Structure 1
Amino acid sequence: MGHEPRVVDVAVGLGSHDLGVAAHCAALYRAGLFTTLLFTGGNSPGTLDWFPRGEAIHFREHAVALGVPDEAILVEPRAANTGENIVFSREVLADAGIVPRSVLLVCKPYMERRAYATTRKLWPEIEVTCASVPLEFEEYVTTIGDEKLVVDMLVGDLQRVIEYPKRGFAVEQDVPEEVLAAYASLVDAGYDGHLLGAGAQTP
């Protein structure tokens, strides 16, 4: 998205297979950008082996190990897709008496636009800033250790950016022609493991 991280009322760390999200949340907390951090995510088939007790639980533990005070962290442990991440996070915050005006969404680098589009649809009154670990593609693949997984998920995320507005899950986003061409080329090359109907099925 090209957003600059800034001071916000609350940060929401979106669960996934990437523990770097939790580490980046911890770094942004130490930088003084927020005082309340919420991790959201239960499990999906792709993360059950990585985080058997749930994404948000493991992310919280990692952030605490990196210096974030336990009392600064809220946990939403049920969400199984991005839409639920947003809806359930709102509920957890409301239950804690927190009604933020601005939120920092922290997620995987290639997920920023989908997270943004989903939030604009499901939480339209909030001011949204997106953040992710500032790594080039090759560096990011090295941190994950599985190039096929990363590209599969990148391709799947773009498909969802294109398709989900039609299903009412997200707001429309402009997708340049060269991005569509790259997407088609990658699908033809076999990077289809995260496409709708070919693996993960959820928003």
Structure 2
Amino acid sequence: MSESGLQVSDLEDQDRRDIEVLWEYHVLDSGPVDGDFLLALGSHDLRVADHAGELYASGAAPLVVVTGGAGKVTSKEWSTSEAARYAERLVEMGVPRESLILEDASTNSSENFSFTRKLLLDRGIEVRTGIIVSKPYMARRARATAGRQWPEVRWFTRPQVMPVWDHPTPDVPLDRMINLMVGDLQRLRVYAEAGFQEPVDVPDDVWAAYERLAARGFDRFVIK
């Protein structure tokens, strides 16, 4: 399936139910919490940067690290790194440049954490608690990745929480969202088996929803 104009009304009833099941499982929110730093995971969705800026303004953490070079979507759409785009947005929101650190070499979620860890160590910045800011449906996998790649930090997740059907926009099409959610669900098992992230329990009904959506053609980011 392509990204060309898919609407919620085009989906089968079972598709909609399965998408809602995946969304509810993926969205892992720790609730209001303070930390040593915010780690904004780069992606095609600038709302992640917006949410990081809001959390910074609320006093959640004194430092924002934006991480991301070129990802599987942004490598085809942006001429600059995800970190640079996020940083530009955060400065526009009033985050001081001295409160920002850019990590712009990573190309996947494991590197987001391992490269940022090395960057802060090299700069002599000690952190004990971190707040992950990500797309809503990336939160659970991000937390599992953090636990494996940077276990000495106590991690919290603060995605931008919203109903699933409010998430798609012209810049974040519905079809792309579904395909990414399906791919992220599969990676929770595949990447845990590969040692990239901590094992997590995937309930049978969630896995069944993943399998149905992949079989329906929402498999663009499924590892074959």
Q: CA deviation at 1:48?
A: 2.4
Distance 2:67 2:46 in 1: 13
Letter of the 1:92 partner, please give it.
L
Distance 1:50 1:112 in 2: 23
Distance 1:147 1:83 in 2: 26
Q: CA deviation at 1:16?
A: 0.7
Q: Which residue of 2 aligns with 1:194?
A: 221
Distance 1:196 1:139 in 2: 27
Distance 2:32 2:223 in 1: 31
Q: Which residue of 1 aligns with 2:101?
A: 74
Distance 1:81 1:145 in 2: 19
Q: Answer whether contact 1:5 1:104 (CA < 8 A) is retained.
A: no
Distance 1:72 1:158 in 2: 33
Summarize deviations over 1:17-36 as a string: whole Å, max 9, x none: 11111000000000001111
Residue 148 (structure 1) aligned with residue 175 (structure 2): yes
Q: Which residue of 2 aligns with 1:53?
A: 80
- Change over 3 Å in CA distance of 1:32–1:143 after alignment to 2: farther
Summarize deviations over 1:11-69 as a string: whole Å, max 9, x none: 11000111111000000000001111000000024102433110000100001101111
Distance 1:191 1:170 in 2: 24
Distance 2:32 2:219 in 1: 32
- Stretch moving more, 182-191 or 137-146: 137-146
Summarize deviations over 1:64-107 as a string: whole Å, max 9, x none: 10111111000001000011000000111112221100000101
TM-score (norm 2): 0.85
TM-score (norm 1): 0.93
Residue 133 (structure 1) aligned with residue 179 (structure 2): no
Query: What is the count of residue pairs matched by the alignment?
Result: 197
Letter of the 1:39 partner, please give it.
V
Among 32, 35, 39, the alignment partner of 1:5 is 32
What secondary structure does 2:131 align onto? strand
Distance 1:42 1:5 in 2: 28
Unaligned stretches of 5+ residues in structure 1: 198-203
What secondary structure does 2:130 align onto? strand
Q: Which residue of 1 aligns with 2:118?
A: 91
Q: Which residue of 2 aligns with 1:106?
A: 133
Among 162, 172, 184, the alignment partner of 1:157 is 184
Give the alignment's Cα RMSD to 1 decimal: 1.2
Percent identity of equivalent pairs? 36
Q: CA deviation at 1:134?
A: 1.4
What secondary structure does 2:168 align onto? helix
Among 67, 70, 74, the alignment partner of 1:43 is 70
- Change over 3 Å in CA distance of 1:112–1:106 after alignment to 2: same
What secondary structure does 1:48 align onto? helix
Letter of the 1:60 partner, please give it.
A
Structure 1 ranges of 4+ moved more than 4 A: none
